[in-house]
């Protein structure tokens, strides 16, 4: 046998050996690291608000629980980095993952990790790969969870981006409130309105808006049968998006008033407030219908109280 043929055979056997022995293990390790990262992230994010949230509030890490302990001093970013390294390694053995009926879940973990790392384009692209695989393998609870998350992924990203838009629009609103020149105020208001239209109101396909995000998450919810943690989580995500919408709209309203905007502009703002209020009531109604004791549920009471000032 020629040297080149021997080398090619060696590489083939090496890849086959990896696929058989390492792919599934690497996937499991990546899954664990991702769950650990989600736990750390949720602990950090809700540290100051934990006592205000109801006990049945569904955190993201509730969907991806791990029994592995959290290392002292570990960070969510560190765990997510480990998860990505592991899942990239695992996907080199796609054949073995497919045999183990884990290829779809592996792509889901990769998409989720991209999402939590703020790599939104990569998250959307990977979620698109995961969806058709999960649709052909939805027998287990994890498959149902992952399919819903992958279908909702673009909408969840929109909600994240709306929070960034809120930070940006608050700065502009503050600048407008401290500005005396009418021309400068008008220019700032135009910027504020443009952000609102792009980050909240646009319903065009591909728009990174709350309105579009709500619709995308709703499609994922419609595919979930019965009561489940994933359904409640996605309903929470919609209401969190409504909270961002309300805060952004409040800046628009105050800015229009400080500008002494035209009657036509004031009417537009009030119409947007009416649309917002109607949506708050609608999504609170969806949550009420999904909870066993409806309005008496502590989770419903939490969201109703949080959004009460905006209705």
pLDDT tens for the 311 residues of the chain, in order: 444 454 444 444 445 444 456 899 999 999 999 999 999 999 898 876 666 788 888 888 899 998 899 999 999 999 999 999 999 999 999 999 999 999 999 999 999 999 999 999 999 999 999 999 999 876 678 899 999 999 999 999 999 999 999 999 999 999 999 999 999 999 999 999 999 999 999 999 889 999 999 999 999 999 998 778 999 999 999 999 999 999 999 999 999 999 999 999 999 999 999 999 999 999 999 999 999 999 999 999 999 999 976 54
Pairwise CA distance, residues 156 & 244, whole Å:
13
| Greatest Cα-to-Cα distance within the chain, rounded to the nearest angstrom | 87
For the whole prediction, is pTM greater than 0.85? yes
Other C-beta atoms closer than 10 Å to the C-beta of 201 total 19
Angle between helices 103-116 and 120-135 (to 10 degrees): 160
Pairwise CA distance, residues 13 & 43, whole Å:
44
Please say whether the dihedral angle defined by the alpha carbons of residues 79, 83, 89 and 90, taken in this order, is positive or negative.
Answer: positive
Pairwise CA distance, residues 273 & 250, whole Å:
9
């Amino acid at each position: 046998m020629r040297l080149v043929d021997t080398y090619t055979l060696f590489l083939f056997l090496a890849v086959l050996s990896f696929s058989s022995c390492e792919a599934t293990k690497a996937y499991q390790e990546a899954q664990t690291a991702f769950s650990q990262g989600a736990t750390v992230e949720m602990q950090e994010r809700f540290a100051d608000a934990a006592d205000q949230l109801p006990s049945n509030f569904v955190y993201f890490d509730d969907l991806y629980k791990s029994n592995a302990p959290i290392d002292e001093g570990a960070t969510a970013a560190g765990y997510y980095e480990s998860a990505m390294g592991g899942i990239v390694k695992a996907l080199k053995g796609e054949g073995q993952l497919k045999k183990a009926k884990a290829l779809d879940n592996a792509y889901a973990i990769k998409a989720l990790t991209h999402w939590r790392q703020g790599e939104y384009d990569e998250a959307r692209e990977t979620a698109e790969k995961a969806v058709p695989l999960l649709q052909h393998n939805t027998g287990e609870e994890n498959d149902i969870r992952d399919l819903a998350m992958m279908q909702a992924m673009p909408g969840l990203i929109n909600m994240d981006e709306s929070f960034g838009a809120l930070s940006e629009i608050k700065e502009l609103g503050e600048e407008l409130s401290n500005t005396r020149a009418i021309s400068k105020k008008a220019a700032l208001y135009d910027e504020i309105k443009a952000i609102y239209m792009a980050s909240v109101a646009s319903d065009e396909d591909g728009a990174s808006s709350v309105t579009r995000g709500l619709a995308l998450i709703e499609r994922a919810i419609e595919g979930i049968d019965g009561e489940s943690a994933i359904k409640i989580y996605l309903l929470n995500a919609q209401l969190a998006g409504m909270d961002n919408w309300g805060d952004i709209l409040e800046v628009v309203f105050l800015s229009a008033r400080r500008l002494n905007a035209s009657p036509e502009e004031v009417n537009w703002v009030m119409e947007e407030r009416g649309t917002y209020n109607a949506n708050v009531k609608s999504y609170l109604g969806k949550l009420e219908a999904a909870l066993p004791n409806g309005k008496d549920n502590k989770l419903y009471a939490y969201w109703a109280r949080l959004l009460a000032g905006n209705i």
